[in-house]
Amino acid sequence: MWELIDPCNGQVFDRIEMAGRADVDKAVAAAVSAQPDWAAVPLAERAALLRKAAGELRGRLGDLIETITMPLGLPRHQVETVQIASALTTLETTADIATELVIDEVVGNSLVMREPAGVVAAIAPWNYPLMQSVNKVAPALVAGCSVVLKPSELTPLDAAELARAFRAAGLPAGVLHVLPGDGPQVGRYLAGHPDVDVVSFTGSTRAGTEVAATASATVKRTLLELGGKSACVVLDDADLEQAVAHAVRTVVVNAGQTCTALSRLIVPRSMAADAEAYAVELLRAARPGHRDDENAALGPVISAAQRDRVRRLIQTGVDEGARVSTGGIDPPPGLPNGYFVRPTLLTGVRQEMTVANEEIFGPVLTLLDYDDPEEAVRMANDTRYGLSGAVWSGDTARAMSVARRLRTGQVSVNGGPYNPVAPFGGYKQSGVGREKGRYGIEEFFELKAVQIPADLDPLDFTDWNEESR
């Protein structure tokens, strides 16, 4: 039995049965068997089922909140907005977009068809467990694939609720399987399984490279959403307080365990002192607390190992010459137990420091300064990651000129809000492929080109029509 640990106190709160290799074989075999019939279901019906599943999840909101807050430790009053709302939105927007897709199209004398890729192994992380599972399951199902979902062994409970919601919505047996299991055994075996056609993985860059290497043995498509070390570039004409507040929010929410967190705040040297003062004010106001504390701005990090890693990186920053302006490695006041970390600001950070390059994955903001915008762009791009970023300026056109030069998959300009149907993914070691919107659905299609004699119209040979939508 696998023990689930409450990160608010370090105590066991539940035990679950873990899957093994035999369970993977059984689930994949069932998914292979179920996939053709599911692919034959009209797209409009597959999309409608996603909407029904979203409704089922809304009806299970209380249970869903508990399955997320208990292993994650996120304050209960934040779970719906931080964790669940985005998952429901993805189910519904994926359904909406799917019915607008062009499945068969004519290119010269060819009929280009989009067909389901087959069986998908979806390997989800622990930081946003429901959302990340839905990011994979929703587009794969609507594309006509069957799915074997392996949630993180640290946060497996919400995946069971997701499966129940799909079952209640009418998803046929065998199309979706949930296998709680660890990464080294179950995850690796699933990624390399010869009957899996696509692997969709979200997690650390280190783990992602292992998944890609394992999957490559059978030359299957591999989608990777990995780490980040994203920069918030503040230009000299920006509203400094808004820019700093934006960066601080991203490292406080979910205890900083967010791959898109703007953990590098890059400001003009002349504005660095003011940026530091405001960031300190905001971070000191962000009080950690137990999940039942309605005034807590953040909860603990996921585990003792993660807490120790974050504190170790803070200490490494100090050892390399950075200063702790607020926070640090000591436990937050009144929280001697559990895996809590103080919201921390490191200043005097230089580009070559470890904390400027390694993803900390905790409530830690690093402040770097620059002399001219060219230097700021170089600093922002001087990382092996390229997942997210932000630019702030009093002139939107000027901010856009910087945004175009950032080597990253997403950029927010002057606080532009997140778009749930825009492509999500990264450059460089932040990943391969895209999630969300039509871009995410297209990852689960194979393209087939059928050449028709030149004197015939390819459209006469398509079975795709409005009725099948």
Locate tokens 């080597």: which residue?
A: 407
Cβ–Cβ under 8 Å, residues 123 and 200: yes
**CA-wise closest residue to 431 among 177, 74, 132, 93:** 132
Catalogue the E-assigned strands of 53-182: 104-107, 110-116, 119-123, 146-150, 176-178
Cβ–Cβ under 8 Å, residues 411 and 427: no
Distances in Å between the Cα of 94 and the Cα atoms of 154, 162, 431 are 27, 16, 21
Residue range 344-356, pLDDT digits in tens: 999 999 999 999 9
The pLDDT of residue 463 is 60
Q: Which of 56, 210, 225, 443 is catalytic?
A: 225
Question: At residue 142, what is the residue type?
Answer: V
Cβ–Cβ under 8 Å, residues 367 and 345: yes
Locate tokens 């519904």: which residue?
A: 92
Residue range 146-177, pLDDT digits in tens: 999 999 999 999 999 999 999 999 999 999 99
Looking at the DSSP bridge assignments, the partners of residue 390 are 232, 412
Distances in Å between the Cα of 452 and the Cα atoms of 105, 107, 116, 369, 461 are 13, 10, 22, 61, 9
HSE-up of 335 (CA within 13 Å, CB side)?
A: 25
Give kind and range of the element (H or E) at residue 2: strand 2-6
Helix (H, G, I), strand (E, B) or coil at 319: helix
Question: At residue 452, what is the residue type?
Answer: I
Residue 241's contacts (CB-CB under 8 Å, 6 or more residues apart) are: 278
The pLDDT of residue 459 is 80
What's 345's DSSP letter?
E
Cβ neighbours, 10 Å, residue 209 = 13
- For the question of residue 145 being annotated catalytic, the response is no
The pLDDT of residue 350 is 97
Residues 432 and 208: their CA atoms lie apart, in Å, by 10
Which runs of consecutive H residues, i.e. helices, occur in 350-436? 373-381, 396-403
The pLDDT of residue 467 is 41
Q: Which of 259, 358, 359, 443 is catalytic?
A: 259
Residues of the chain with pLDDT under 50: 464-469
Domains and CATH numbers, the chain: 2-226+426-468 (3.40.605.10), 231-413 (3.40.309.10)
**CA-wise closest residue to 225 among 138, 310, 123:** 123
